Structure 1
């Protein structure tokens, strides 16, 4: 494995959607749900839901439970989406630096 870091053109990288973006594209749009209707259905403040959609707030356990109950998904679904997006974003930001870390011997 090469020890040199590779510079990549980041404009070629695919966009990593956050949980709020996926909530809209995969659930709200197909069901023709607006933010107001969904917020009312899951009994949260519309501004809180909008902040998730905008990406300015993260999913917390309570919001995940409300959303997963409403959409009949497994608990933790939106938390896992968020964690996955954050890990992929962090890995991109490290841009090969992890390769220089030698795992500790057992």
Structure 2
């Protein structure tokens, strides 16, 4: 039996957002839970959890707090979020962008 992980269609369709990456790349490796991180960056745990769950966007203030705490450049978490949103939008357009002719210079 193979020990390799199997990618399902739903896994392929999932685009990680800033909250997903916050958990998988920062919180889990450091053993941080939501309450501990929220306390460290002085935000309500519910606010942080909504961002992690993808129910709330990262705003400038939360980005600055997270970026400072994890020693990342300002705007890091906003860029993660924007990148995910662009991928989602592009996928939802389903090739429609190809029909738009760029304006001539």
TM-score by length of 1: 0.87
Alignment of 1:12-27 (within 5 A): 13-27=12-26
Unaligned ranges ≥5, structure 1:
1-9
The C-alpha deviation readout for 1:51-101, integer Å capped at 9, x for no partner, is 001100000000000000000000000000000000000000001000000
Q: Relative CO higher for 1 or 2, CA cutoff 8 Å, sep ≥ 6?
A: 1
Runs of 4+ in 1 over 6 A off after TM superposition: none
- The whole-number CA distance in structure 2 between the counterparts of 1:14 and 1:95 is 13
5+ long unaligned stretches in structure 2: 1-8
How many equivalent pairs are there? 97
- Tell me the CA shift for residue 11 of structure 1: 5.2
- The two structures have a TM-score, normalised by structure 2, of 0.88
| Cα RMSD for the two superposed structures | 1.3
How far apart in 2 are the matches of 1:93 and 1:13? 14
Please give the alpha-carbon distance, in whole angstroms, between the structure 2 residues aligned to 1:102 and 1:62.
38
The match for 2:92 is 93
